[in-house]
Structure 1
Amino acid sequence: MERQHIINVANEATYTNLPPNQIVPILADKGIYLGSESTFYRILKAHKLLNHRQRSKPCQKVKKPKALVATGPNQIYTWDITYLPTTVKGLFFYLYMVMDVFSRKVVGWQVHDNESSALAADLMTDICKREDIKRGQVVLHSDNGSPMKGATMLATLQELGIMPSLSRPSVSNDNPYSESLFRTLKYRPEYPEKAFLNIASSRRWVDDFVCWYNNEHRHSGIKFVTPAQRHTGRDIEILAQRTRLYHAAKARHPERWSGNIKNLEPVGSVYLNPEKGKANSKEVETA
């Protein structure tokens, strides 16, 4: 009976595109415990229901950086620009997107028809107003693209009191947080297979994505809470509630548990290393 219940839930529209490590915490936040992640995996595997049911691919682990440390939200941002296809071959819209490294929240974005240091500067100005950023509060990391190191952008960052963090030209840096974000974006089932019809449609799509990503997406890097929950500190109580639920479930049926419940302590500090190849440096900067 419980096996069938798990199968039925996993095949509901709400969960059909989600793996067990997403389904279990979502159910827990609703006060429902049907089984552990391993139980879900075992049952779904037995019924050949573990195949990816969306265009997403298995996530890849990112090596933990060392140089910058975020101990809370609005300390380290990372940003990048990605191309969005248009109906004209060789022409693109450009999505500017800024993420908070600690919470993974998208704190700002814009879509334009060109790459520009001035447009990037305008975006950061808007973010600082909306997030009430003080001088000296934020480090902004990016690669060495022209919009990132353009004079207008750098002058604006200086005026806002934001410290730029640029990858050195001689050192490879993959900007993993922004890369992972863009990968999630482009593998969403709703992402257009061919092109965006116009810039307005691309902006509507990105707006919907950001709303979903910040407020609904249980992020694997922050214990499967949403970026918005992490950004506001609500993840602490949510994870505590999950812990209580799992303890209660174990107390009811201890024979079903081979060990302790999983660690649901909130994720601590988050690290970023803009200068991976810097030699003989053991200093860690707290942003």
Structure 2
Amino acid sequence: MISVSDRKKAISLIKEAVANGAREPEACKVLGITQRTLQRWRSSLTPIEDQRKNAKRPEPANKLSIDERQAIIETANQPEFKSLPPSQIVPRLADQGIYLASESTFYRVLKENNMQHHRGRAKKPCAKPISTHCATSPNQVWMWDITWLPGPAKGIFFYLYLILDLFSRKIVAWDIWTEESSENASILVRRAIMSEKRTLANEPLVLHSDNVNIAIGKSQLCHIFEPLMTSN
């Protein structure tokens, strides 16, 4: 919204520009307003101050009543719904033939009453430090990942499996397969342990991956080497 002082200043500047030979529409474009807006500001029939913030707007016909809002709150706090988000509450009510409001309305009402988070068994999120590892010698911490390599045709990829030692930055083992699988990962880890002659009896080996979305199942790796190796 443009203030009254800015409007008066714009009228004065445009008047001065027109008096010096400028065209009024072009002067309006320079200030970023239309000539119709300027005419409305100059008119004595309309106030120069913006009246939108003072306008009385009718309430929408579908506005929720106080009882309807209370019904949403009470439903969200019922034992069967208190740990569920509205995206699950509304479909479950629909299965029972009950409709109180849409999902977005449920979210809005719960947010207005500070009930959108931590209801029921939901716990307040807590900040956790990023897991880090420190290696003081080789073969204490290995890092591994899978990288996609372009294949012979569009849409065809090869997968580079690579294990890197954190301390020495040495490539411990690597291989290329045509698919991602936990079997391929376990083969590579076993081969790396044998090639490095790494004994796991006295000191566990940490196999770290910062990519939690890779297709390798970490639980399977833990099952293969547990309890001799920890996997993060």
TM range (shorter): 0.3 to 0.5
Higher RCO by CA contacts (8 Å cutoff, separation 6 or greater): 1
Structure index of larger Rg: 2
TM-score by length of structure 2 reads 0.40
TM-score by length of structure 1 reads 0.33
